[in-house]
Amino acid sequence: MRITPEVLQELMRGVEQEDPIDFADLPFSDDALRELIADHLCEMAAAMENFSEADRHLTLLAVAAKLVLENLVLHIQLLRQHGLPLSEGAQALLQRLRDKKQ
């Protein structure tokens, strides 16, 4: 299934309604950043056009997992940098990790 960058940007905005992004004081507009990422992901999807459905699914899951991990690490680093407590979600994830170690 092909998706245009414009449709992907709209989907991103929809997801952001539930989980807003703090764009802070970046020197770019929110829409310009969404456009950049939507274009990049559509290019990635086009490059996987010859992949099997299973390989595409696996690749997209791997990309999503990497991004969620990166987001978690950056979130924790920022909170530590500012001396703020972890969010409940981050706490719960880290607790699962602690529980596995025991």
90: pLDDT strictly greater than 90: no
Q: State mean pLDDT over 82-93.
A: 86
CA separation, residue 71 to residues 63, 77, 90 (Å):
12, 10, 10
pLDDT of residue 59: 92
How much is the pTM?
A: 0.74
pLDDT in tens, 25-53: 899 999 999 999 999 999 998 999 899 99
Which pLDDT score, from 0 to 100, does residue 24 have?
Answer: 85
Check: CB of residue 33 under 8 Å from CB of residue 8: no
Tell me, what's the pLDDT at 67?
92
